[in-house]
Amino acid sequence: MHGTPRPPATPAQALSAMDHLIAAHLIGQQELARRLGLNVTDLTCFAFVLEAGENLLTAGDLAARAHVTTGAVTGILNRLERAGYVTRRPDPADRRRVRVAAVPAAVARVEAVYAGHYERLTVLFADYSADELAIITDWFTRATALAHEYLEKLNRNDPEEEC
């Protein structure tokens, strides 16, 4: 059904709904990570590796995306490699760097765990018109940028800077 009438909402109601969504997904991510034998940070980093596809990330790329230090990402990659999720490949352009590749069997395991949820979300999105999906996508994109900006402010730990 496209363009279904929606009930009116205030910014406070939208913030509350967003908080509930984030909480549900955080709890869900923890459970999915547990089922996959990972922690949430490692699962998130594996998702970044998957998103990159054939354009393999360096450890530095992964550290920047996950907002962790390069030392922390080394530990993450060690755990993901031991668990059979990633392999490290020498960077053909710079032998001092490595690139991170997903292990196909691990990709299949993760996709299987997420498949049902993504199918339900796809059905939910089908209830929205193309214009509404554009608004939803715009909102997600802009809210993500704000979240990254906020995280960067927090990571600077500057008492003079308002978060």
% of the chain residues with pLDDT over 70:
98
Beta strand pairing status for 94-102 and 86-91? antiparallel
Element (H, E) at 91: strand 86-91
Segment 40-88, tens digit of pLDDT = 999 999 999 999 999 999 999 999 999 899 899 999 999 999 999 999 9
Radius of gyration of the CA atoms of the chain, in A: 19
The yes-or-no verdict on residue 1 having pLDDT over 60 is no
Beta strand pairing status for 86-91 and 57-58? unpaired
Predicted TM-score (pTM) of the model is: 0.85
Segment 12-22, tens digit of pLDDT = 999 999 999 99
50 in Cβ contact with 110 (< 8 Å): yes
